[in-house]
Amino acid sequence: MNNTKFAAKMPNDHLIMKMSDFAAFGVPVVAYVKRIDIGGVPAYSVHGADGQPLSVESSEDLAAMAARHKNLMPVMVQ
């Protein structure tokens, strides 16, 4: 399949995704969950693949449930 519509071809034949395409990659299906601290209290932030904040939860399980409630697949990041 030729993906040159979405990517630029580099001299060494590698395809590079445009920044705008990369920013939208996974938007309809992925939510990123990251452990954070709020005033010394552990919490979990949930963000869409585009970086849009979705929620902050008190546990990793609740963060995953929040993502799934929005029909997104939670992915834990550090």
Provide the number of structural domains found in the chain.
1
20 in any annotated domain: no
AA identity, residue 7: A
Q: Is residue 19 part of a domain?
A: no
What is the per-residue pLDDT across 8-36, written as a single tens digit (0 to 9) for each? 555 566 667 787 776 677 678 999 999 99
Q: Which residue carries 């979705």 as its tokens? A: 54
Domain for residue 14, yes or no? Answer: no
Does residue 6 fall inside a structural domain?
no
- Please give the residue range of the domain that contains residue 40: 26-77
- How far, in Å, are 20, 29, 40, 69 from residue 5 at the CA level? 13, 22, 47, 33
Residues 6+ apart with CB under 8 A from 29: 49, 72, 73
Residue 53: closest CA among 22, 32, 71 = 32
State what percent of residues in the chain have pLDDT above 70. Answer: 77
Any domain includes 15: no
Query: Is the pLDDT at 63 greater than 60, yes or no?
Result: yes
Q: Is residue 16 part of a domain?
A: no
**Torsions phi, psi for 66 (to 5 deg):** -60, -40
